[in-house]
Structure 1
Amino acid sequence: MDRGTHTTATALIDAVRERTTAARLAEAAAFVAVGDWAAAHTSDEVVGDPITALGEWHEESYVEALAGDHFLELGGPGAPVVAEFCIGEVAAARGCSFDAARRLVGDAVEVRYRLPRVHARIAAGEVDVWRGRRVAQATRTLTLEAAGFVDRHIAYVAYKATSGDIDRLVAEAAARFDPETTEAERAEADGGRHLTIELSDVGYADPLTGTLRGTVDIHGTLDLADALDLERTVAHVARQLVELGCDQDLDVRRSIALGEIARRCDGVTTLDYATADESAESDQRPIQRARREVVLFVHLDQAAITGTLNGFGPGIDACTGTTGIDLARLDTPGAPRGAVTVEQVQTWCASPDTTVTIRPIIDLNLEDAVNGYTPPDGIADHVRARWPRCVFPYCTRSSRTADLDHCRAYDDNGPRGQTSTTNLFPLCRRHHRMKTHRELRTGRRWTYRPTHPDNGEPPNALIWTSPHGQTYLVDRDGTRPWTPPDET
């Protein structure tokens, strides 16, 4: 390497180092600012105190306080309680979900009030924010004295402490300062059992090739006896599948077996492979099937109705000139949204004992309205298809489980047709409350309205205004901060 090349390489790595340091300091400053923001929205009450005076905090409307903004216990014992709605402002400012902002605010409160030494080192840029948050998440269940013990021992090594180091120190603090709880938790260790089915993780198996995946991951922790029983049953059904003509490898058969077990009811099973009829005949008894119900929301565009794509003929892609793959878009309550092949849907529905309900939505550009307050299923399905997610800034919750909110408040004495596809928008329950009720501190609330394209605003979008005057534009593509055209 010549001298010039060496100088250039040194400058580049120096730039990496400088920018990394700047990013660390900026992240630390933002984390401290979140803690300051939370501190400005606290009550005199602290975690661990009996919180019974909610009406005194919001004397104008005790009922509204119960249903609207209220104080949350985000830190451990001794930390102040924080107003719930102030978290929404943090979520919008950072461009993240409410749940992520709530975790961030909780960690900031824990560090600020219960881990002051760690807080000082984060503020000075000596400890990465993620390390400080890891400590905060581990200490939240400790008593105030135990958290202080951890703070004293971890602060000066927090920049290099591993997760194991933190967990061991927290366990020691719990045993020292709260031995009764530690013993009770040990006796109830089996309470950590769980089974998680990752229904939200359906999508592309290979994002580079666009290969569709119609599978989900499952993980959990079982009681040993339950695990042994499940293993025996899965292995037994996997062997049965071979006898019934399934030629998949063992891993695939085991996954199929779990689905078969799930559909059993009092000994009734859905096993139905190539040799099932032969097996039934040899046993002189039919193989019974449990009923399966499939509800499909079918979204049809012009190409599907006419059988053409942009006039190029049946199934021909105008861009590639080739036959396109047939896809179905999943849009079913309790299931994740996403695309799967039509062939996979056909497989799901192949059983003659499957009840299939198809609910068509033909044209989302048409408007519909009724005179009552509650929308009928057709309008509700239309709105949720148009807006697949909660329309609050940065929220990612499915509209299938969301409330339908009247953007212009419903008036019993108002005009006809107030419940319409143009006046209803999906809001998850938390954000519906935030839109409906006032903040405890400011007395203001979140508001939103449809955009006005005639005024230079994007079409088919919403503009939200926070209690502190921040504005955000929400459309089908997501959320972004919004500045009115006349202010740019």
Structure 2
Amino acid sequence: MPTATRYADPALAAVRAAETVVREAEVAKLHAVLAWAAEHTTTDDQVDLNRFGEAPLHLGGPGYPVVEEFAAYDLAAVLGMISESGCAYLGRALELRYRLPRLWAAVTSGRLAVWKAGRIAEATIKLPPEGAAYLDTRLAQAVTKISFTQIERLVTEALLRYAPDQVQPEGPDRRRVLIDLDQPTIEGTVDLTATLSVPDASDLEHALRAGATRLREAGCEESLDVRRSMALGDLARGDQPLDLSGPSVVVHLHQDSPEVGRCETTRTPVTVETIKTWVNDAAKVFIRPVIDLNQHVHVEAYEAPDRLRRHIELRDLTCVFPHCQKPAVRCDLDHVCPHSRGGATCSCNLAPLCRRHHRAKTHGAWRYLVEHPGSYRWTVPSGTAYPRDHHGTTPLGPTPALAEP
């Protein structure tokens, strides 16, 4: 395997320095805005009656300081924003400072970009204090690599746990299938939209994937999208059997959360009542207990069994290459210390790498070591070290190249 090398790259160093300046300036602005807010707090009964029409600004939930309304408009002008945008920025800053202490610490330490912290704060403002605290704890574990879709799911879960009365009822069953036969294109195609239950959608996805593969093996040279469309037509005519041998829906339940489960297939919270419906209607639904990710799992073989793969996927969630967000379920399992050199097939020596980054590690000069399960340290060809863990990726300065594992 090639040995990691380090070479000087002044242009890359200049980019890194400029990015550092921008991040530090954003944090400094946030501190300044919060210092301003501390000087312009008020209460409902302290409004200056000489300023007709002014009302105290309640920019967030319980635990926030209340801000003088007209002074906030002055702040917005200094920030170069319209009043609504300036007040929204101030609200996000107050949310971070007063209700999300762990995320605030990540911002001030430079681990979390201000813009991303603001997006998170915008989503958590609607939560009650205990819900915000719960989400702050959950997000702090993987704040720099979690997607906004995942954040929205965690917000929904927190609402179900701590403010179920704020969750809008879904109302009538929204499942439907619409085929627009009235507006075909000149090529003879029509649009189809559908809203399905997760188990039904999972089975349909599996059937379309299998049908598209069979068409390719039969010599069809159309694109994957076209073959999936053809496979759906085959299903409608009964020309393709609905193969239910593939993976279906997996739900995890924990004894500490008897009312809310988590669907592994979609990574979303789901109520127990919905799970009961799925069990009655779906072809295959697997209900599993929450896995202890601190347990050490070891096998005497090169290939990892399903239980070990599931352990690694749930622990790391994504490819562990710096900044990569490819889901672990679509990654290879890499022996950090190669199996041919004595590396064990165990939870402390396996990590998910997407195919692109697996090739970079195997055939290129990228190297990484396991600091402890779930925490990795990469060294790149330019010599920069990148620790990668549940907090995301943290670039460090150039370091000596890692030795061969």
TM-score w.r.t. length of structure 1: 0.35
Which structure has more relative contact order (CA 8 Å, sep 6+)? It is 2
TM-score w.r.t. length of structure 2: 0.42
Max Rg structure: 1
